[in-house]
Amino acid sequence: MSQLPYSEIIQVRYRDLDAQGHLYFANYLVYADEVLGAYMVKLGLNILNPSTAPCMIFTVNINCEYISEVAGDSEVAVYTGYSRIGNSSADAVFEIYGHEGKSLMAKGSLTQVFVNPKTRKSMPIPEFYRKALIQNQPNLEY
């Protein structure tokens, strides 16, 4: 069972499958990104409207370890959180389990850089978001 702080259940859709009938490899990352985005919104950072968002976030590195296949017509539990928060970047992690939460199917990480929307240069992580992360994940490395 995951120790990460946020999760959602995702129904594997037919369109998410490859010709072999299991989850297309890139969609593991899509699922992780969707759930991480929901966690960010829960913590108060909504970047979906660029005209009002306090920053942009660029993913500069991503990796995924595929452990077991995810079959079509199933559900998965996607867990996410952060492992490190720096000045202008943060490392997020994810784990994807079979819907019962016992079988680890994939895990990975990604590095986010927080970017000023006007200059498109890195900027400090917004203070309200940093505080929300530390409050929600007190053991976070920073």
Which of 37-41, 54-58, 115-119, 137-141 is predicted least confidently?
Answer: 137-141
Cβ atoms of 113 and 122 within 8 Å: the answer is yes
Domains and CATH numbers, the chain: 6-135 (3.10.129.10)
What pTM, to 2 d.p., does this model score?
0.94
pLDDT at 99 over 80: no
Q: What is the model's pLDDT at position 16?
A: 94
Distances (CA, A) of 105 to 34, 39, 61: 17, 20, 21
CB contact set of 108 (below 8 Å; sequence gap of 6+): 28, 29, 32, 62, 63, 64, 65, 93, 94
Q: Mind listing the pLDDT tens digit for each residue in 79-89?
A: 999 999 999 99
Cβ atoms of 76 and 9 within 8 Å: the answer is yes
Using pLDDT thresholds of 50, 70 and 90, give the confidence band for residue 141: confident
Cβ atoms of 12 and 73 within 8 Å: the answer is yes
pLDDT at 6 over 90: yes
Calculate what percentage of the chain has a pLDDT beyond 90: 87
Residues 55-69 have a mean pLDDT of 97
* Largest separation between any pair of C-alpha atoms in the chain: 46
Using pLDDT thresholds of 50, 70 and 90, give the confidence band for residue 51: confident
Share the mean pLDDT of the chain.
95
Q: Mind listing the pLDDT tens digit for each residue in 104-126?
A: 999 999 999 999 999 999 999 99
